[in-house]
Structure 1
Amino acid sequence: MKSLRVIAVSSVLVAATSGLANAQESTVKLGFAGPLTGQNANLGKDVERGARMAVDDLNANPPTIGGKKVKIELQVEDDAGDPRQATQVAQRLVDSGVKGVVGHFNSGATIPASKIYYDNRIPEISQSSTNPKYTQQGFDTAFRLVANDGQLGSVLGKYAVQKWNAKTFAVIDDRTAYGQGIADEFLKSAQASGAKLVARQYTTDKATDFRGALTAVKGENPDVVFYGGMDAQGGPMIKQMQALGMKSKFMGGDGICTGELPNLAGVALQDRQVICAEAGGITPEYAAGMEDFKKRFKAKYGQDVVIYAPYAYDAVMILVDAMKRAGSSDPAKYLPFLQKTDYKGVIGETRFDSKGDLQNATLTLYTFNDGKRQSLGVQH
């Protein structure tokens, strides 16, 4: 009887252990990193919601990877948009066993973190980082879903000269990898198009008072002021330009191109021509799908999409799609399939070039009227 009990207990333990192993095998963990605190928290939470929405949609009808139904788990980390914190977050995600990463948000956080993912062979898709350096480091694990600063700056520089007939311009940037990068690209494009740089000033991504830099710029009376940075500074900067009596037109990249800018700039935005560019664009055939996504997002979270939630949503879907095609969530096995992605999602068709950049990347120019963003059309 004693031996029978031992056998029975052993059988239960084997079954339990086997069940635990199967449970472990049936969960695929992905990582998400972005600024969930700090001045860019509204943008970071936007992309986090997009990633969570994708995970919820996948788990509602669990995907099959390697012949097994799997549950997708998302480990969320806050990098606060800080390069040092981003590397700590990246190491934490690697140590926890994630099979892929969505993020980071800011180029200044994404670039240093990408080295850690590369060293550990973990694929990373940034839904928003635009600094060209991110995909120029030779890391075959790095991918992005948006146009880069070279493309954004080129289009904005040409627009300033050709559409606004700008002869002179000033540049202010926040000294981050993103802000300085896009400002430099705009400068090159505007100069190549025939305009003259009359002032170059700097601030930080935590500043609130820009009167020193703006006073120096005001003395040169430029046709256009370009700001390389985020909406948290861009909005107050427009206010302070108004207070100083500056008449210059205002430009920026996707960092200021948010629905929050009118709130940050207040009535000063109504009295100034402002153009910005979003590092993505929805072509007509995908417009209905994007509108459906925005409605579902609002119903789920009670919040409107800020900018990049749909891109984070597709980033999750693209990682899982590569796993399904590879029949494995092992990064070493699915990475070659990720590199050959041809995925039609909310943001359109995604295919990567040899560097991990988006093929046929689009961007959208916007202006602001009556406190709302207004599209000026998709550019290639």
Structure 2
Amino acid sequence: MRRRTFLQATTAALAAGAMPKLAFGQDNIITFGGSVPMTGAAAETGQNVLQGYQCAVKYINEEMGGAEIGGQSYQLDLNIFDDASDPARATTLIQRQVDEGISFFLGSFGSNIVLPTCSITEAAGRIMVQAGGGSDLIFTQGRKRVFGIFPRASQQFVSSVNMFTSLDPAVKTVSIIYTNDAFSEFQAKGARQTIEQAGIEVVDYIALPAGVSDVSNVLTTIRESAPDILVCTTHDQTSILIARQMVSTETNVPMLYQTLGPQTAAFRDALGNYANGVVTQAYWSERAPYSGSYFGSAADFAKYFRANFDRELTYHMASGAACIVAYVEAAKQAGSLDLDAVRDGLDALDLECFYGRVRFTQDGDGDPDLLGPLLIQRQNGEMEVVAPPDGASAKPVYPAPTWQERA
């Protein structure tokens, strides 16, 4: 059988805006279509997700000899284009891939792109497995062929509040800042509900426009409220903006918690020592006790990734790889590449692997009891797991040092 490595050789052309040429008529090749932000506002995390897809394809093709499905061996191919963080571009080109016959899709990063593109694949009877969209709207409108590695946004805060209620001194007040987009707003609503149910007062609940460039007025309010924890359900660049302006205005809180941003090298590079003490979510850690037949353990995945890729490892790479693994295992269990059979295989999937236990709800999002986030905090430059306690590598630093003390 012909052996090839499919690692998106056309990435440079795609980033430049060229439409990928789809590889049809090639025997025993499974092609995954889709897009990620290789440029634009979400490029930092988009590139991370892309390398997760690439890592799983490389491992399955080269280390496992391909995917054995229904008695035949298949090589995997990626046909991923740069959507430039632009929903309009993504929908146009996803529709073109649908028209050209792609059956299996991988998602972009950001609910603002995943939501319209999964509507296209769903209407066409195709399948999408994705690690970039958590808005409730993706999973509550009756779709049957869209699967997400993460729980929906409104169910992502249980582990966070469990940590809040364990802190000493006790957390009495929380302020919430969110951006007005499909993911962040749902996550903020879920956070507020879960926090208030725990008996903690939400003293501020502040919406930011998606394209915000200044939060100084908002931070004036935060200084007046003086919450024990500031929760920001914001995307990467907005999280950096908020943290930078908190430093410059000396807006100190005992804990700054930002759901997206602090996981990335860009956040570390932008904030330097000020990144220490910031808490964020992570859906995977190489220190977690997960293992299975793909890659081996979580630590083995990290070792393999670092041996083959240059980007700093974040959970997004593991989440992207888990999408490919879920597809392959579902097809294996179905013994077929028939779309309905693979869909049913994903629906029934219950897989222990390097990423944890992968199982989807009846609506297609990640089971919140199994795939909810870990809490991580940058301490002395290292990302430490601080919750839940049974998976923690360090205790949370709370109250955090002031910005002046971190300089």
TM-score by length of 2: 0.79
1:322 and 2:327 aligned: no
Q: 1:89-124, CA deviations, whole angstroms, 9 ceiling, x for partnerless residues?
A: 331331232221121221222122221111111111
Shift of the 56–268 alpha-carbon distance from structure 1 to 2, 3 Å rule, reads closer
Q: How many residues align?
A: 358
User: Would the aligned equivalents of 1:342 and 1:351 in 2 still touch at CA under 8 Å?
Assistant: yes
Match of residue 269 from structure 2: 263
Match of residue 124 from structure 1: 128
User: Would the aligned equivalents of 2:283 and 2:315 in 1 still touch at CA under 8 Å?
Assistant: no
Question: Which of these two proteins has the greater Rg computed from alpha carbons?
Answer: 1
Match of residue 56 from structure 2: 54
Where does the alignment leave 5 or more consecutive residues of structure 2 unmatched?
1-22, 391-407
Measure the CA separation in 1 of the matches of 2:90 and 2:178: 22
41-50 vs 279-288, which moves further: 279-288
List 4+ stretches of structure 1 deviating above 4 A.
280-283
Aligned with 1:332: secondary structure?
A: helix
TM-score by length of 1: 0.84
Aligned with 2:363: secondary structure?
A: coil
Measure the CA separation in 1 of the matches of 2:358 and 2:117: 23
Match of residue 386 from structure 2: 376
Shift of the 204–305 alpha-carbon distance from structure 1 to 2, 3 Å rule, reads farther
Q: 1:237-278, CA deviations, whole angstroms, 9 ceiling, x for partnerless residues?
A: 1221122122212112245433543322233334xx432222
Measure the CA separation in 1 of the matches of 2:303 and 2:203: 45
1:299 and 2:307 aligned: yes
Paired AA for residue 32 in structure 2: L
1:356 and 2:360 aligned: no
Paired AA for residue 57 in structure 1: Y
1:338 deviation in Å? Answer: 2.2
Map 1:1-380 onto structure 2 (within 5 A).
Answer: 23-60=25-62, 61-163=65-167, 165-248=170-253, 249-270=255-276, 273-280=277-284, 283-286=288-291, 289-359=297-367, 360-378=370-388
Match of residue 8 from structure 1: none
Where does the alignment leave 5 or more consecutive residues of structure 1 unmatched?
1-20
Paired AA for residue 111 in structure 1: L
1:227 deviation in Å? Answer: 0.8
Q: 1:280-331, CA deviations, whole angstroms, 9 ceiling, x for partnerless residues?
A: 4674243971222112212212222122111211211221222233333231
User: Would the aligned equivalents of 2:159 and 2:374 in 1 still touch at CA under 8 Å?
Assistant: no
Measure the CA separation in 2 of the matches of 1:101 and 1:379: 36
1:365 deviation in Å? Answer: 0.8
Paired AA for residue 53 in structure 1: C
Match of residue 3 from structure 2: none
Aligned with 2:142: secondary structure?
A: coil
Shift of the 212–33 alpha-carbon distance from structure 1 to 2, 3 Å rule, reads same
1:22 deviation in Å? Answer: 10
User: Would the aligned equivalents of 1:259 and 1:373 in 2 still touch at CA under 8 Å?
Assistant: no
Aligned with 2:156: secondary structure?
A: helix
Measure the CA separation in 2 of the matches of 1:361 and 1:316: 16
Paired AA for residue 224 in structure 1: I
Measure the CA separation in 2 of the matches of 1:148 and 1:361: 10
Shift of the 378–129 alpha-carbon distance from structure 1 to 2, 3 Å rule, reads farther
Shift of the 62–267 alpha-carbon distance from structure 1 to 2, 3 Å rule, reads closer
1:160 deviation in Å? Answer: 3.2
More helix by share: 1
